[in-house]
Structure 1
Amino acid sequence: VGDDGWETDLEIEEAKAPSDATGRTSYLGACKKYGVVPISFFLRHMLDCELVMEHHGLGPKGAKALSVPLVSNTSILKLNLRDNWLEGNGGAAIAEMLKENCYITEVDLSDNKLGYKGAQAISAMLKENTSLVKVLLSGNEFDDRTAEPLAEAFMTNQKLECMDLSHNVLGDKAGEILGNAIGENTGMKELDLSWNCLRGKGAIAIAKGLEANIFLRVLDLSYNGFGKGGAAALGEAVKVNNVVEELNISNNRISPEGAVLFAMGLRENKTLRVLNMARNPMQSAGCYGILKAMQGNPATALESLDFSNITVNKDFDELYTAVKELFTNLEVKHGGNADMFSKKKPKADPLTKLKQYVKENKLQLVEFFETVGEDRSTLITRLEFQQGLQKAGIPLSEQELQQLMDFLDKDKNGEIDF
């Protein structure tokens, strides 16, 4: 920190380091070797148990320099290098370091443009590393080519419990390859594949992988394209799988029919607690099908249903009321009741009704008032007015009559001077 209080990566004083027990000297030497400016933030926090270095612009060379002291670092347990433009070479340097370092248990390399080369390096590392339990690789331009090395890591590594592969471009081919690997994985508890391009055969393969898996607890498949076929396959999966507890399949182009096919699996599932199907074109009929399946499964564990952005109807509301009596802990979100948004025909105000009667009978208002008043005077009492309206067949409630009287009785004396 400079004299003005701002952090700076300049003028690092090597003389302050009494020894290289922290890796300080080796880091400064590596920075000189690769021609990069030392990161003062790293020098100050290299003994922390969690190192968060997001958005530092490391680049491939900066990652190589950072990897040198991290190989022997025994303090850092969680490493966050999100958004540092590491690219394939930088990712490979971090991966090589993680082959040697057995203290880091969580690493976040999201948004680093790792690409195919980075995926290869990370996957090779995961086949050797036995200390990592959480790896976040979101937003790294992983496409179908990366599926093979990733699948090998899935099937080899038994220690990894959580992986995030969201916001990539994994497509049908990747889905087919990863689906098989998911089925054979024997350690992962949480997997995020949201915001990819999984559809068709790839989506069905992922569902079959879930069907065979006996370890996954949380699976996020939101923002893909599972559609009717994928939803049906997921229904078959949850019918057999009694391990998964949270499933997110929101925004997956699931139709009402697809939702009903998925619901068939819910009739037999006993472990799923949280189900998110928001923003699917499944309409109220699809939501109704899910609730109906839950109603028919006394052993269901469902306690949270998310149908956000999907409007429901009266039938759904009535079924929800009945299901809520059976499962009192159930919470349901939806996009509101369609009846709330239907345009009801506005009621005609009392004066409009009166004018309509006069018009239909081709009268003038003065003539109408003359027929109402008993003594033909220009004053009409409230009682005369009420009796006249009833005789004319103009249906006005007591409230409407009061409104009309208030409007016509200008001087508020209880009489109308027409």
Structure 2
Amino acid sequence: AYLRGLHVIRHVPQPVSSVLDFGDRNPLELGNHRDAGGRVGFLGAKALALSLMVNTSIIKLNLSDNWLQGEGAAAIAEMLKENCYISAVDLSDNKLGAEGAKAFSAMLLENTTIVSLQLSGNEFDDHAAKYLADALIANSKVEILDLSYNMLGDKAGEVLGMAIAENIGLKELKISWNHFCSQGAAALAKGLGANIYLKVLDVSYNGFDNSGAAALGEALKTNNVLEELNISNNRISVEGALRFALGLKENKTLKNLNMTRNPMQSEGCFGVLKALQANSDSSIEILDLP
């Protein structure tokens, strides 16, 4: 079916021999084929989509680092509206942009089988975040979402924060290596405080600063679900660490906390330890401090 699709679409890049007939192979791994005859590209994605539309054996699809761009993402998204077998999709590093975000948002309004979605490194900005937020609010099936290594800023934090508050499906969210600063961080933290499903959150390598840390501390006072939190490398100083620690005094569910690569100094680290010591109901098992 894939070969027939290639004949339908002109000028499709020559696919690598290893994927000409994927048959019943599962998972379908086409990620990072730069050393095997060239990337799939958006034309190749269209050809693949034709075949996967009716495929009933593939449940995991990896098309990472294949230069799909928005047009290729749209083709894959249309396929996923029809395919009810694929449950894990990796489209990391494909330059999907806002067009790709829009296509996948529309798909997630209809798809009920995808539980894991990797979309890191796709040049998603604040404009793209609006589409992603719509999907988070409407979709309750995706449990793992990776939006790391993008260009999401404070405006994105505001819309995503509201979406996180309403989402009833996500269990793991990675939004590290973005551009969230104090304002966006506060909005994300507010969403976390209202969320009752999320268990793992990675916001490392952003710019939360002290105000963002304080907002996270407030969220931890009310959130009784989160188990893992990574806030490493967020410019959190002594002040931020102490304000964040106020949440640790009351939180009962957090098990794994990473605060490394923050300028907290000894005073900030001591404040965190003291807060945990004062909380007899703390569940902390793993603690990483600077």
Same fold (TM over 0.5): yes
Q: Is the 8 A contact 2:27 2:60 kept in 1?
A: yes
Q: Is the 8 A contact 2:120 2:149 kept in 1?
A: yes
Q: Is the 8 A contact 1:272 1:300 kept in 2?
A: yes
Offset at residue 33 of structure 1 (A):
2.1
Deviations along 1:156-194, one digit per CA (max 9) or x if unpaired, are 001110100000000000000100000000010000000
Query: Does 2:154 align with 1:172?
Result: yes
Rounded Cα–Cα distance in structure 1 between residues aligned with 2:2 and 2:287: 50
Query: Does 2:241 align with 1:264?
Result: no
Offset at residue 38 of structure 1 (A):
4.1
* One-letter amino acid of the counterpart of residue 226, structure 1: F
Equivalent of 1:305 in 266, 287, 290: 287
Equivalent of 1:163 in 138, 145, 150: 145
Deviations along 1:80-122, one digit per CA (max 9) or x if unpaired, are 0000000000011110000000000000000000001001001
TM-score (norm 2): 0.96
Rounded Cα–Cα distance in structure 2 between residues aligned with 1:156 and 1:258: 34
| Larger Rg over CA atoms | 1
Query: Does 2:265 align with 1:288?
Result: no
Query: Does 2:12 align with 1:30?
Result: no
Map 1:222-233 onto structure 2 (within 5 A).
222-233=204-215
Deviations along 1:390-410, one digit per CA (max 9) or x if unpaired, are xxxxxxxxxxxxxxxxxxxxx
- Show the counterpart of 2:194: 212
Equivalent of 2:30 in 53, 66, 72: 53
Query: Does 2:15 align with 1:42?
Result: no
Offset at residue 42 of structure 1 (A):
2.0
Please state whether the residue corresponding to 1:191 is helix, strand or coil: strand
Deviations along 1:252-285, one digit per CA (max 9) or x if unpaired, are 0001110000000000101000000000011111
Offset at residue 40 of structure 1 (A):
2.7
- Show the counterpart of 2:136: 154
Percent identity among equivalent residues? 62
Rounded Cα–Cα distance in structure 1 between residues aligned with 2:55 and 2:164: 33
Aligned-residue Cα RMSD (Å) equals 0.9
Offset at residue 43 of structure 1 (A):
3.2
Shifted more, 32-41 versus 142-151: the winner is: 32-41
Offset at residue 127 of structure 1 (A):
0.7
Rounded Cα–Cα distance in structure 2 between residues aligned with 1:48 and 1:65: 17
Query: Does 2:103 align with 1:135?
Result: no
TM-score (norm 1): 0.67
Rounded Cα–Cα distance in structure 1 between residues aligned with 2:29 and 2:220: 38
Rounded Cα–Cα distance in structure 1 between residues aligned with 2:258 and 2:72: 36
Q: Is the 8 A contact 2:2 2:21 kept in 1?
A: no
Please state whether the residue corresponding to 1:60 is helix, strand or coil: helix
Shifted more, 31-40 versus 155-164: the winner is: 31-40
Gap runs ≥5 in structure 1: 1-25, 311-418
Offset at residue 46 of structure 1 (A):
3.2
Rounded Cα–Cα distance in structure 2 between residues aligned with 1:157 and 1:227: 31
Please state whether the residue corresponding to 2:145 is helix, strand or coil: strand
Which structure is higher in RCO with an 8 Å CA cutoff and minimum separation 6? 2
Query: Does 2:183 align with 1:201?
Result: yes
Deviations along 1:136-155, one digit per CA (max 9) or x if unpaired, are 00000000001111101000
Rounded Cα–Cα distance in structure 2 between residues aligned with 1:28 and 1:44: 8
Q: Is the 8 A contact 1:31 1:38 kept in 2?
A: no
- Show the counterpart of 1:188: 170
Corresponding pairs, count: 283
Offset at residue 200 of structure 1 (A):
2.0
* One-letter amino acid of the counterpart of residue 55, structure 1: N
- Show the counterpart of 1:77: 59
* One-letter amino acid of the counterpart of residue 273, structure 1: K
Please state whether the residue corresponding to 2:20 is helix, strand or coil: helix
Q: Is the 8 A contact 1:48 1:76 kept in 2?
A: yes
Please state whether the residue corresponding to 1:54 is helix, strand or coil: coil
Map 1:67-106 onto structure 2 (within 5 A).
67-106=49-88
Q: Is the 8 A contact 1:28 1:38 kept in 2?
A: no
